[in-house]
Amino acid sequence: MYVHLQYLKRLFTVYNYSISPIFTTTIHGNPVMHLGNHRFNKYHRSKEPRTRWVCTKKKSGCKIGIITDNGVIIKVTNQHNHY
């Protein structure tokens, strides 16, 4: 599903949770969540069904965190520090 940038901005400003993320795995078998043009890695200590995701640019200082529950976004903390 293509998510328009305006939708993402709304998601990260007023926390509109209606956007559906897409879940895949890397070639190494690690879970990845796609949301718009951003990708998130599963936080290694999170447990199903409530899962914490961190931006793939976390090492570059991006502090956004997303919590999903059974594949639905229920919480977003902080914002991306990049586009």
Q: Which residues of this chain interact with Zn ion, rule CB under 5 A?
A: 55, 57, 62, 80
| Nearest-approach distance from CB 63 to Zn ion, in angstroms | 8
> C-beta of 72: minimal distance to Zn ion in Å?
20
Which of 16/57 has CB closer to Zn ion? 57
**How would DSSP label each residue in 5-69?**
HHHHHHHHHH--TTPPPEEEE-TTS-EEEEETTEEEEEPTT--SSEEEEEETTGGGT---EEEEE
CB of 50 to Zn ion, least distance (A): 21
Complex with Zn ion: residue 49 or 59, whichever CB lies closer = 59
